Amino acid sequence: MAHFNEAAPAYRPVLRRMKEEIRHFLNRTSVYSEEHWCRVVMNRETMNLINALDVSRLDALEVSGTRWSTAPFRSYRSVSYPEFDLCDPPAGVAADMILAEQVFEHLLWPYRAGRAAYGMLRPRGYLFITTPFLIRIHDAPVDCCRWTETGIRYFLAECGFPLENIQTASWGNRKCVAANLRQWARYKKWVHSIENEADFPMVVWALAQKP
């Protein structure tokens, strides 16, 4: 054993190289998902939520993203800051659905944005938003707000949407919270649990409909 302990330092570079090779191999295969662990359930559930609507009748406006570009909307347009500022949008913009994923937490004036979105929606139009909750600050360029399901529900009500027209949901668990303290953890199916623990929401989403 003494001889092994004396020789152990010589093996450390070899072990490091082996670990690096294994990591690179895993990254090149489907072992790792491209999805962040914290978004797997949210992505699945929000896709089901939107697909349950008759989107073929809707003109959609997606803010700072293109996730919904392949959905069968009647029309689709993607806009981004600073050319399009949701807190102070250009006049004359109208849509049947506004989609803003991981946007509202980065707004200095979220209430203004919520009111502006309400104003841009046609009657019976939808505002769909997703936001983080138990996720570390990530300035892009700023990071300002977090809401629970209750918080986002009443925030949207304050923006004009009737409480009875607002659907909310959330997902998270303590292991995912801990993993994301270190890095943006990518989902590993056989390692990472997608069990929901209601007291540890990492992501929150809502669909609100204008009267």
Q: For the chain, give every domain's residue range.
A: 1-31, 34-209
Lowest mean pLDDT among 33-37, 47-51, 133-137, 153-157: 33-37
121: which residues sit within 8 A by CB, 6+ positions away?
94, 95, 96, 97, 98, 127, 210
pLDDT at 4: 47
pLDDT at 34: 74
pLDDT at 3: 52
Share of the chain above pLDDT 70, in %: 88
pLDDT band, residue 30 (cuts 50/70/90): very low
Share of the chain above pLDDT 90, in %: 80
pLDDT band, residue 22 (cuts 50/70/90): low
CA gap 152, 36 in Å, rounded? 22
Q: Which fold has domain 34-209?
A: Rossmann fold (3.40.50)
Angle at 162 between CA 86 and CA 85, to 5 degrees: 0
pLDDT at residue 21 tops 90: no
> Which pTM was predicted?
0.83
pLDDT band, residue 17 (cuts 50/70/90): confident
pLDDT band, residue 33 (cuts 50/70/90): low
